[in-house]
Structure 1
């Protein structure tokens, strides 16, 4: 291979490596980030501050991921580039949202407390702990209330959707652990199935239209662990479940 051809071949590979440095390998997180946002926008109607909010939300997630990596490794300089880029993106967008709707500042203490939980687990290198994942779920679901505040919609109007998403995402955290990191752990399997059973009852109380979907989620939590599904297959199934939950929540509420 000529020198020119070698240089051409290495440039795309180098570009891919650089892109991977700025994108965390947390593919399942994107559904958790986008599902509450999509539901919130659909329920309250479009408002222009929702666009900078989306940018601040996604950039803020990426900023927090690399901040927690810096805390975990005790090597902040290693992630200085990512922290700078995502900080410069998230900060001005967040300021735009705040100037447009100052009331969103009321959510700052809640997010600060939840992020402190994440930081604490990162410091102890236990970011896969169940409580840490639940703190992340709470951050995502709270976005429904943030969107309602931006639109001037009473929180009570979106509270049922918030609860339905919270039930789904908490259940998904438990279920995915039984499929991957806690595979074969009977205690986690009982926790997952038990939570899904409670979630089914709670979802049916919120709206009977949710019952068939949460029954399907319960069946998936009970039947799929132990079948040796690869993580990619588990992820594809969850994408389908997320879309199903999205559709039914929008119909119900």
Structure 2
């Protein structure tokens, strides 16, 4: 199953949270269901593809690519027929995925630029979801895109201070500074969300000092994602 199931636990939150923000900023439509399934299958398909590029062992990952590709195809066809405009939303994903392919090829997937590229790609799903939901305020959805990207980039920095950059004091201070600047920016862009942004700042400053494990970090991060989603529903709208 390691060939079929992505091992990046944090990516599941990036897969779901921007999609939910897109629904929240528009209206729930039946088309959101096949759109989410398509988005999920694209992610699942990209995992063995990137592993094949990284290892050069495409034969090893051919079966999961075939399975996910066959499942994905009817959803892609259906969505294109139902909403041809969705094809335009794919265009900005192409260069971002090209960056992921490059870092997979060079076996440097942990690079921060690669993380940021993947984060932006995940967060961009908010726009087609908003469009399908016949949302009215592009300003609102853009603010939520920025919030999502800002949150997940901060999370990528914070997680590195817990795992791979645990003993890098400069990286730790860089992560804390980023979260501080994010909180300041939040006061301007979405002042109603300043409390959760301060909580995320405290997370970045305190938790790396506790010796928290990688597994527990991933579990707790689900709670922080849920906190941000609830805060947006209750305080932002």
Q: Same fold (TM over 0.5)?
A: yes
Match of residue 176 from structure 1: 159
Shift of 1:231: 1.2
What does the per-residue CA deviation read over 1:131-189, in whole Å, with 9 as the maximum and x for residues that have no partner? Answer: 11111110111111111122232422311111111111111011011111111112221
What does the per-residue CA deviation read over 1:80-127, in whole Å, with 9 as the maximum and x for residues that have no partner? Answer: 001001111122212222221111211222111110000000000001
- Which among 149, 167, 185 is matched to residue 202 of structure 1? 185
Match of residue 48 from structure 1: 30
Distance in 2 separating the partners of 1:162 and 1:235: 22
- Which among 142, 153, 157 is matched to residue 124 of structure 2? 142
- Which among 92, 98, 102 is matched to residue 110 of structure 1? 92
Show structure 1 runs of 4+ deviating over 6 A. Answer: none
Q: Report the TM-score when normalising by structure 1.
A: 0.89
**Count of aligned pairs:** 235
Which consecutive residues of structure 2, in runs of 5 or more, have no partner in the other structure?
A: none
Match of residue 123 from structure 1: 105
The secondary structure found in structure 2 opposite 1:183 is: coil
Match of residue 14 from structure 1: none
8 A contact 1:72–1:122 mirrored in 2: yes
**Bigger Cα Rg:** 1
Match of residue 168 from structure 2: 185
Distance in 1 separating the partners of 2:225 and 2:188: 20
Distance in 2 separating the partners of 1:45 and 1:38: 11
Which consecutive residues of structure 1, in runs of 5 or more, have no partner in the other structure?
A: 1-18
Distance in 2 separating the partners of 1:63 and 1:124: 20
